Structure 1
Amino acid sequence: MASSPGRPRDRSVDERISRAALELLREQGPEAVHIDGVATRSGVARTTIYRRFRNREALIAATIALFGEEPFPAAELPVEDKLRWLLEQVRGLVEEQLGRGVVAAVLADSDPVFSAALRARLTRRLKALQGQIDADVAEGRIRRGADAEALAGLVFGAYLGELLQYGRARPGWADGVIDLLLRGIRVPSGS
């Protein structure tokens, strides 16, 4: 956010707004993240929030931007470790950053503004993931034609399927998923 001329911004106010938006998102879903709701939760005046965010869409985008993005694993790591990292990223996104209720809201598309903003962020991350996959293809660690979007979809789907079936990820579950994924993307021996 660019500062406007005048008094410097109070970082504690920015932090209260951010914290309130994240709490509302996790506790009540994306529909609860709006200027009035954040003002009530944070104790910050609506006018102050509007000085920082021109509308709800800007507030939603800023809230999504608060989600951490771990750097991709080192290029030299084995593909198995990279898949384990990807599974952990999906788990962290669902369980720690978004929360299960938000995932359900996105699946139901109950808040199209939020869903579109989240999908845009995930698409940017997938483009970066495709670069990682392309590097592994070039190094001969992954077969040609591996599709980052399909791989990410399989990982997301596997995690959500595990939650639907068991309510949690069972011990050893990730090992089974990684084994199946490796069978599909690994370069056949002798190639």
Structure 2
Amino acid sequence: MVVDADVEPASVSPRRSVKSRAGTDSRILGAVLAILRAHGPNRVTVESVAALSGVAKTTIYRRYANRDELVEAALDSQSAAPRMPDGLCVYDRVKWTLDLLRVALSSDIGMGSVSAVLTDQDPDFTESFRDIINSRSQVAAEVLRAAVEAGALRADLDIDTAVSTLVGSYLGAYLRHGRVDETWADEVVHMVCPGLERGSAAD
């Protein structure tokens, strides 16, 4: 059942109202992201988001003028790259960046969005998607540079090509097998830096 989530009883406190609005926003953007993951941007409509989120179209329209604003807000919610945990060794730093890329491609935005970018269905969406991937790629590049400085990777490594290779490794595994095994990150670390083991100094 779709309900008008902005309608609050007079007795509801302002704090509860703010929490309710935040919950409604989360449901709306969560639905947009779920549709993007599965189908790409062309399937995002106010009607499809309302049906999946359970939030009334009138409520959605009070927040977003159209589906373009819905997509933009959903992508903006994924634009900031997570902060790396402190105290990781070089091996775990490299693996963490692989997981960062994997999550971006599989869970945060999904293969439906990847397909849309590869066919350039929506140029604005393609640009926003690349911004997200590049923000995570920048984190990966910084980790690889640190690994070079630590002697774990060869000194003449082309960082940009290495990052593209890491992204391509995930896409290649998905295209060939329809899934990516949980061991993927470990296997790639061993391939990229065969001499690197857990516990390697971080600096």
Give the Å deviation of 1:129.
Answer: 3.2
* Residues 152-184 of structure 1 deviation map (CA, whole Å, 9 limit, x = unaligned): 21112112212222223357554443233126x
Rounded Cα–Cα distance in structure 1 between residues aligned with 2:158 and 2:46? 39
Tell me which of the two structures has the higher relative contact order, counting C-alpha pairs closer than 8 angstroms and 6 or more residues apart. Answer: 2
Give the Å deviation of 1:119.
Answer: 0.3
Summarize the Cα distance change of 1:176–1:141 in structure 2 as closer, same or farther, 3 Å threshold: closer
Rounded Cα–Cα distance in structure 1 between residues aligned with 2:183 and 2:22? 43
Give the Å deviation of 1:117.
Answer: 0.7
Summarize the Cα distance change of 1:114–1:144 in structure 2 as closer, same or farther, 3 Å threshold: same
Which of 73, 82, 85 in structure 2 is aligned with 1:70? 82
1:58 and 2:69 aligned: yes
Which of 49, 53, 61 in structure 2 is aligned with 1:38? 49
Summarize the Cα distance change of 1:135–1:180 in structure 2 as closer, same or farther, 3 Å threshold: closer
* Residues 10-54 of structure 1 deviation map (CA, whole Å, 9 limit, x = unaligned): 223212212221222233322122334324443444454344335
Question: What is the number of residues matched between the two proteins?
Answer: 178
What letter is aligned with 2:82? E
Rounded Cα–Cα distance in structure 1 between residues aligned with 2:39 and 2:84? 31
In the other structure, the counterpart of 1:3 is none
Give the Å deviation of 1:74.
Answer: 4.1
Equivalent residues of 1:94, 1:100 under 8 A apart: yes
Please list, as runs of the form range in 1=range in 2, the aligned pairs for 1:146-157 lying within 5 A after superposition: 146-157=157-168
Q: Identify unmatched segments of 5+ residues in structure 2.
A: 1-13, 197-203
Rounded Cα–Cα distance in structure 1 between residues aligned with 2:54 and 2:182? 42
1:99 and 2:137 aligned: no
Summarize the Cα distance change of 1:84–1:133 in structure 2 as closer, same or farther, 3 Å threshold: closer
Equivalent residues of 2:105, 2:111 under 8 A apart: yes
In the other structure, the counterpart of 2:190 is 179
Rounded Cα–Cα distance in structure 1 between residues aligned with 2:68 and 2:159? 28
Which of 169, 177, 190 in structure 2 is aligned with 1:158? 169
Equivalent residues of 1:86, 1:155 under 8 A apart: no
Summarize the Cα distance change of 1:28–1:11 in structure 2 as closer, same or farther, 3 Å threshold: same
Q: Percent identity?
A: 33
Equivalent residues of 2:44, 2:71 under 8 A apart: yes
Rounded Cα–Cα distance in structure 2 between residues aligned with 1:170 and 1:17? 31
Which has the larger displacement, 154-163 or 20-29?
20-29
1:24 and 2:38 aligned: no
Rounded Cα–Cα distance in structure 2 between residues aligned with 1:166 and 1:125? 24
Q: Identify unmatched segments of 5+ residues in structure 1.
A: 1-6, 186-191
